[in-house]
Structure 1
């Protein structure tokens, strides 16, 4: 590949909205990561910032891009204010695309060309797809090395498939078919053929010169093969539950090892219960408790996670009812807690835990500090906006409708992931 020309980088805006100037990094080519995130998705409205396993969809690829430490700048190209806010929160600069490249008919190449035209200091563009949440930093490092070290001009990600394909042949009223990649009389076993390389859409890395010529894949071109477990692409709503299970198992959770939670603290009203008190015709007061949530508590306790429920001082649930609930769910309930942060910090210190070993589930403004400090934090689906913004995991289930069970499963899955990672890191002794 020809040596990159030095061009002035116009820059953009940082997380605080301030203008920033590009860095040619000592004459090295400026490599920019670019994630396209249009707001007008037809399949899933605002798909790019919809929560996937507790993280905005676009957050998964932004975290991988930031932690790769490969890029002179990381950008999200969008036409939507909400996507812009999420992008900045996850460490990206924002390119507000023009209406001309924000239409349903606009191609990715047109949008990238606009970005390149407005940022003449960028030499290599890594277009990362927002809908590929199982991307890891090592994928980007290995693929980019093909350009920076091996001289390729474009690289794109693929997955190997072993699918037999047929072509539909229409004739008059009927139709027939022709084999495309097999001989039906001699069908090969999976292990007897190499399969085919299919684009998985995770990323496309291309030189500036090719983009300016209207070429996304060309010149001296190479592919980067990703495993099938990492090749997740979300197009429609039906893909979402499958992607959530895949990302929890194969997604990238950051540089640190997954937190091993030893203590979970949870609000009584608004988390464990739906926050309502029911009164019978005879005047008896009742609250609703979901058996899935009580089972979630039991699951955590079996895995060595202590669970304590917190009832604030302004909670209208009578003390006698709180005591009955404590026996029902099989864990301690701290009643009439005036200052949640002080109480949580006290419990943490008594058990000699660091904040990373504490999980917290809240639902309103008084919980924000605890949600921010805890290693893992969550809110029910119907929590207030201020608490949702502070939490690291947003549940699909509402308060009193299985939210605690959902968070418990998330904690245990990360615990299992951490255990597996520790086993992999363990050095065998002679």
Structure 2
């Protein structure tokens, strides 16, 4: 790689005008914006000199920046429903003459891992390939329909019906799965994404997912949870999990009884999630800016966690705990919901926010719950951490 001085750029196309699923490119999938799955894989692969998101939408641009990508603001000419990917890529290349090789990484294929991009990059850098793209092997028999009679077949395309092969005796066929394409600028100038010395990189069917409509979403979420790349933090041990109280443990509402006494409520399933974390040996602690929370102390007694009230500088309190316990910041997970939580969220190895958190907190989070604070968000983070532990 040291001898190849060409500029390799990853490019993710993320238009804001999706019709099937509005703003699907930043819709939350398994706790993260859809865009983040491909973007993080591209960045962590370390095989690109730059990583770009091409978009026409301010919120998508903001998410791209928060997750470490550079933003190319595409023009209205290539942001229409009828605009092709090729036209959009050409516009990007026109504005970035320093780029020699483009790795087009599909935003709607969220189960992309860094190693999937590293090998194709090496094929182009070291083995002279002009283009490499992802494929999935399928064992499907193809038949030809009659052009004249509905429901009638005129023959088979890829098998002899008299000698049907067993699956284990047939290699199957390679199909483009659209997950990624790498190609040289010279090919792009010819209007091609594939050409010259063409290579392929085979991706297992468990990783081959494309989100096109709402029906694809739950399937993708299930697959991502099991096979997705959760980033470098998934390789680090989470030793301590800290939750803000107002808006995370509780729903940020204050109730008043007939005696004029104030009280807050909590969710039992959240407490069960905390219990599971503690059973694995993870330290769980709570923070609150409030100084008068007698009701929260009662809730905390059920949790059995250390609670620090009056924490005006939450990042400072977290730093004190990190030092006392001899931990690294990367071993800490923190869930917050407001602007005051953002500094702590940015320092921790895993940051999280409830669905109803302030915008600043949601964009600082690397795990976004689909449930609200005090309504299951804590349990979702606990389940996520348990998943990371079980898949190490």
TM-score, normalised to structure 2's length?
Answer: 0.89
CA offsets 1:246-286 (integer angstroms, 9 cap, x no match): 33443334456623122222122211111223334565654
Question: What's the counterpart of residue 366 of structure 2?
Answer: 392
Moved more, 340-349 or 227-236: 340-349
Instruction: Label 1:153 to 1:372 Cα distance change in 2 as closer, same or farther (>3 A).
Output: closer
Q: Which residue of 2 aligns with 1:101?
A: 78
How do residues 213-224 of structure 1 correspond to structure 2 at under 5 angstroms? 213-224=190-201
Q: Which of 19, 36, 39 is 1:62 aligned to? A: 39
Superposed, which structure 2 residues align to 1:306-325 within 5 Å? 306-314=283-291, 317=293, 319=294, 321-325=295-299
| Residue 258 (structure 1) aligned with residue 258 (structure 2) | no
Tell me, yes or no, if structure 1 residue 83 matches structure 2 residue 83. Answer: no
Question: Which one of 368, 372, 376 corresponds to residue 402 of structure 1?
Answer: 376
Give 1:246's aligned residue. 223
Per-residue deviation at 1:230? 2.4
Secondary structure (helix, strand or coil) at the match of 1:228 reads: coil
Partners of 2:232 and 2:307 in 1: CA distance: 35
Report the equivalent of 1:28: 5
Distance of 2:5 and 2:329 partners within structure 1: 40
State the 1:52 CA deviation.
Answer: 2.9
* Aligned counterparts, 1:99-248, within 5 A: 99-169=76-146, 171=148, 174-177=150-153, 179-184=156-161, 186-248=163-225
Query: What secondary structure sits across from 2:22 in the alignment?
Result: coil
Moved more, 176-185 or 58-67: 176-185
Q: Does 1:378 align with 2:352?
A: yes
TM-score under structure 1 normalisation?
0.81
Partner residue, 1:426: none
Cα distance change on mapping 1:368 and 1:95 into 2, 3 Å = closer
After TM superposition, the structure 1 stretch with the greater mean CA deviation from structure 2, 129-138 or 35-44, is 129-138
TM-superposed deviation, 1:169:
4.3
Instruction: Note the 1:4-23 alignment, pairs <5 A.
Output: none
Please name the residue that 1:9 is paired with.
Answer: none
Structure 2 unaligned regions, length at least 5: none
Structure 1 position 369 matched with structure 2 position 346: no
SS at match of 1:62: helix
Q: Structure 2 vs 1, CA of residues 302 and 207 (structure 1 numbering), >3 Å: closer, same or farther?
A: same
> Which secondary structure state, in structure 2, belongs to the residue aligned with residue 230 of structure 1?
coil
- Measured against aligned partners, the alpha-carbon deviations of 1:325-350 in whole angstroms (never above 9, x if no partner) come to 23333434434445433333333333
The count of corresponding residues between Structure 1 and Structure 2 is 390
Q: Deviations over 1:192-247 (max 9, x none)?
A: 21112111111112222222222222233221111223222222233333333433
Give the structure 2 partner of residue 423 of structure 1: none
* Aligned-partner Cα distance in 2 for 1:207–1:335: 58
d(CA) in 2 for partners of 1:218, 1:212 = 12
What 5-or-longer segments of structure 1 have no aligned partner? 1-24, 421-430
RMSD: 2.7
Taking the aligned partners of 1:342 and 1:66, their CA distance within structure 2 comes to 30
Between 1:376-385 and 1:27-36, the stretch displaced more is: 27-36
Check conservation: 1:31, 1:73, Cα contact below 8 A. Answer: yes
The 5 Å alignment of 1:355-366 reads 355-366=329-340
